[in-house]
Amino acid sequence: MLEPAGSSETSVDVTPEVKASLRTESREAPATGQGRSDSASDQHRSAAADSGPSVDSEQTLPCIHCGEPTPSASDTAANQVFCCPGCRAAYHLIQGWGLGDFYALRDQAKLTGAARAAGQSERFEQFESPEYLGPSTPRVRNDGTCSTELAVHGLHCGACSWLIENASLRKPGILSARIKMSEHTFQLIYDPQRIKLSEIARLMDSLGYQLAPYDASQENHIHLENRRLLIQIAIAGFLAANAMWIAIALYAGEFTGVAADHRYFLGLMGTALGIAAVMGPGRTFFTGALAALRTWTPHMDLPVALGLSVGAAVGLWNAFRGSGHVYFDSLATLVFFLLIGRWIQFRQQRRAARAVDLMLRITPQHATLVREGQTRQVMVDSLMPGDEILVAPGESVAADGEIVSGETAVDRSLLTGESVPIQAKPGSQVCAGMVNLKSPVQVRVSATGDASRIGKVMQSVEAASAEKTPIVMLADKVGGYFVITVTVLATITFLLWLRYADLSTATSHATALLIVACPCALALATPLAVAVGLGRAARAGILIRDGSAFQQLSKPGYVWFDKTGTLTEGRQRVTSLVGSEQGLRLAAAVEEHCVHPIGQAITREAARRGLEPVGDGQLEQLVTGGILGIAEEHAIAVGNRQLMQAQGIYIPPDISAAAETFLGQGETPIYIAVDGAVVSLVGLADPLRENAKSVINRLKNLGWQVGILSGDHPSITRLVGQQLGLPEDQCFGGLSPEEKLQSIHRSRAQFKQVAMVGDGANDAAALAAADTGIAVRGGAEVSLQAAPVFIATGKLSSLVQLFRGSSQTTRVIYITFAVSLAYNMIAVAFAMAGLISPLVAAVLMPISSVSVMAVTLASRSFEELNL
């Protein structure tokens, strides 16, 4: 029997403690005719053992719940034997909750237990192989000890970290053990002469945690840059806070009086703080300004650097002269707030850094290499064309290749989105990322990495992201003109006042203009509005990783939907039944031993209808198009029409007619035959998700055109489109990832804005190529990396919130720009007229930022909708 994916990690049996508790209760309960105490049962078993065959026609059968041998009357049904009332209660509780699959999983776990134990031992020994560890290969230190960093699976909280660290240090040979909860990694220093890495992995497994190789190189750059920005903000904040305290003392001295020597000293100290802020954390703006001058490109850093330079130079001169204004508090505060804006932008752009090496996130990093009859785990990167690998049931194929032995069914949804698995046999081509569903197969490798099909899809993602011109935010568009205008006006102001007044007055008015017209609010308007929009969207269950998505989605265009898992539930379900329910019951008895999605759908439907099998079915053979088995001494066949014909099974005319009806309704007909004749027919379909039609209608009302791009059969795609009220010429099925990408490119040539909503790695290239990619919950991780928007709620109704919230956020950006520009126009006019001194300019400068913040926070976006 096949082992379901994940069964090696999750126990499916009732714990001994629970059973002991239940049995204790049953022993303490009064004896009745409905049960038998453990002591009575033990006495009976002892008597039976001593006296040989029972004379009261009782036989020993396994308890249906726990499997322990239990005396039972010969006329008792084989699946109704219980060793105690506790097992009986647990059995009926599990069945009542619709969790009958528990017993099939339990039986498979028992059958594969010995093989799993052997596999566990081999898995631990792999930690001695550099080929398996890759970047986590231990590094030898000067004192002969080794250090390494491994990924830890199963961490949940600080208690887990405490347990691992303390348990490790109690093991001889482990010198240092540290858990990084933020990365879920285990940093380890150990003595290889006293303990092996495989023994440490075994120790962690005994504690309930699994170790695996870890590659930290891709995250280091992001963390270092984030840390550098935060350190700059912290330094600028410290300098600004202290400069502000000195400024308060000097401003207060304007009214209450202050000694000249004290004023001079405080002026020098404040100037030192302002110069430190400008030359330290603020040097990033001078770097950008110099780059703008070298390329003759107007940039927001140019007026910032100019204002900082003039303010610092004049302030430094006045500080040493002991007269005039020094502006140090304005300088330090300005640097502090502008760095915060830079950090917000960096946070928005982190998605690009996280997109590195996406392929390793969706395909296995290791493969089971078969060579000279021996198997061992190796890194996928080390595989060469011609190597042969073993793919167990439930595992993903690690490389493109051809099956050389074994027959199975594979799930291609990662690549094609096809909702129904296909049969694969020797000679069949398989691709990295496909999932083996039934039996072990051996694959001869033909391509790995970038040369594989999924690797080419990843290259399409990178190419689409690179060729897509980034949306230039409104701040950059207006900023170029603003920079030139302010610089020119400051020069004119200086020259005019120099002609009609002295140098000090001209410098004072020009500096006041540069300070009061500082683009602080203009630079912060977009990041602030975007940050508020991101936070409100996150509270609504919509994670947006690129602020430009707001501007993209605010203008109606064309939105394409993937079908499987996006518009539909993404899981096969029995939607129709023709014929005998007993046929469904017998089929479920056989299918419960199979991990195929169709078999699981049949098992779930039988459980929903309360059709419990009388005995355990036997899965005898996996064949092309279905399965063959035995249930209640009947020969059972479940599969498609081709299987029935190949087995010579009789199909009644009414069943054939029903099958044609199912096909017309977009359902997949599955035949159930008992003893050579079809007695039941079930229709399987992937039903529409809740509110799918109302969401489509709301998007149309917002001005968007809607279509479907699917890898599923064209007829099924058209039927889904018909149910949603979409025209057939906008519903395309049978598309490969490359064809979806081409459809997006054609749409971008016709429409200003194109959005793609997907749920699977097959959509990764299309998500990246669209102006805005939107991944829904359940999609492969690569889709989340390629798409700037992730619908964490999994609800299609959140799409309407996203589109409306984007329009509202974009409107706020326009309003804040208008407020900021209006303020600057008025302030510049006053400064040119000589009505604003540098001191007043320093006081007025934050007003624009405060007004922008007030408008942004007062706006309402991403409010909950009722569909």
Q: How many CB atoms lie within 10 A of CB 321?
A: 11
The pair of three-digit structure tokens given for residue 748, joined into one six-digit string: 């971008």
Half-sphere exposure of 428 (CA within 13 A, CB side): 18
Nearest to 246 by CA among 264, 221, 231, 225: 264
* CA–CA distance, 675 with 624 (Å, rounded to integer): 19
Q: Are 584 and 611 in contact (CB under 8 A)?
A: yes
Task: Give the helix/strand (H/E) hosting 114.
Answer: helix 113-125
The structure tokens listed for 671 are: 């035949």
Side-chain-facing half-sphere of 111: CA atoms under 13 Å: 11
Query: Mean pLDDT per segment of 10 residues, for the chain of length 867 residues?
Result: 33 37 36 35 36 43 72 50 75 66 52 43 74 82 89 64 80 87 78 91 80 65 71 88 78 68 76 85 79 62 71 75 68 77 58 39 73 81 87 86 90 64 87 84 88 69 43 55 80 88 78 72 72 79 77 90 84 88 91 81 89 79 84 91 91 92 86 94 88 91 92 83 91 85 90 84 76 71 65 82 90 84 86 79 69 80 70
Asked if 519 contacts 479 with a C-beta cutoff of 8 angstroms, the reply is yes
Does the predicted model carry a pTM greater than 0.75?
A: no
CA distance 173 to 801: 56
Catalytic residue IDs: 562
What CA–CA distance (Å, rounded) separates 287 from 279? 11
* CA-based nearest residue to 688, from 602, 565, 597: 565
Closest by Cα among 521, 517, 519 to 828: 517
Cβ–Cβ < 8 Å for 401, 449: no
Containing 671, the helix (H) or strand (E) segment is strand 668-674
> How far does CA 657 lie from the centroid of its chain?
44
Contact (CB, 8 A) for 441 and 406: yes
All residues at 6 or more sequence positions from 154 whose CB lies less than 8 Å from its CB, including other chains:
160, 208, 209, 210
Radius of gyration of the chain (CA): 35
User: 96 exposed, middle or buried (CB, 10 Å; 0-12, 13-18, 19+)?
Assistant: exposed
Burial class (CB in 10 A: 0-12, 13-18, 19+), 91: buried
How many Å apart are CA 81 and CA 456, to the nearest integer?
56
Asked if 128 and 197 touch (Cβ cutoff 8 Å), the reply is yes
Beta bridge partners of 458: none
